[in-house]
């Protein structure tokens, strides 16, 4: 999904881009948001849509992590640690050491996916997960919007 698609389809395309980026699919959701803001979208609405999509992508990953702990099969979740199990182990160490606040970093590419999965695996409850993850996502997209508008 290129930036021209985001501009053409607007907020729904931004939501999809952010959702994908929040899950296991590496996707440049910041570029999608910047393109939409450059086309004149309302910044507050764009931040809300992007943060919501990104949060729901992370919530899906959190759910998959819970399924892994319960012994359920989650075929594509193994992509996170398949070739690099140290990545998942590192996420587990961070989740155990720093606790739920580590989810403020859930927006960081690749690392954020590992932290979300690790939080699920160490038993972080849904409400603290939602609070810290949503806060991190809002700060991320709020920062992107702020910087975009400063440059424009």
pLDDT digits (tens, 9 = 90+) for 20-66: 999 878 788 999 999 999 999 999 999 999 999 999 999 999 998 88
CA distances from 67 to 1, 63, 94, 104 (A): 29, 6, 20, 22
- Quote the pTM value: 0.84
**pLDDT, position 58:** 95
pLDDT of residue 79: 52
| pLDDT at residue 122 in the model | 86
Confidence of residue 1 (pLDDT cuts 50, 70, 90): low
- What element of type H or E holds 121? helix 111-121
pLDDT tens-digit series, residues 5-19: 778 899 999 999 999
Can you read off the two tokens belonging to residue 83? Answer: 């070739």
Distance between CA atoms of residues 134 and 106, nearest Å: 9
> Cβ of 147: how many Cβ atoms within 10 Å?
12
- Determine the pLDDT at residue 102: 85
- Asked if 16 and 111 count as a contact pair (C-beta separation under 8 A), the reply is no
> Residue 29: which of 60, 9, 6 has the closest Cα?
6
Give the rounded distance of the alpha carbon of 87 from its chain centre: 17
pLDDT over 60 at 76, yes or no: no
């Amino acid at each position: 999904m290129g930036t021209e698609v985001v501009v053409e389809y607007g907020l729904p395309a931004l939501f999809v881009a952010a959702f994908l980026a929040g899950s296991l699919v590496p996707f440049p959701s910041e570029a999608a948001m910047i393109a939409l803001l450059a086309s004149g979208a309302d910044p507050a609405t764009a931040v809300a849509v992007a943060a919501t999509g990104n949060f729901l992508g992370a919530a899906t990953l959190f759910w998959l992590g819970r399924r892994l702990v319960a012994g359920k099969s989650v075929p594509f979740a193994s992509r996170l640690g398949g070739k690099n199990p140290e990545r998942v182990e590192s996420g587990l160490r961070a989740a155990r050491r720093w606790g739920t606040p580590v989810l403020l970093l859930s927006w960081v590419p690749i690392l954020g996916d590992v932290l979300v999965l690790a939080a699920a695996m160490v038993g972080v409850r849904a409400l603290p997960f939602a609070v810290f993850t949503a806060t991190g996502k809002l700060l991320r997209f709020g920062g992107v919007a702020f910087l975009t508008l400063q440059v424009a």
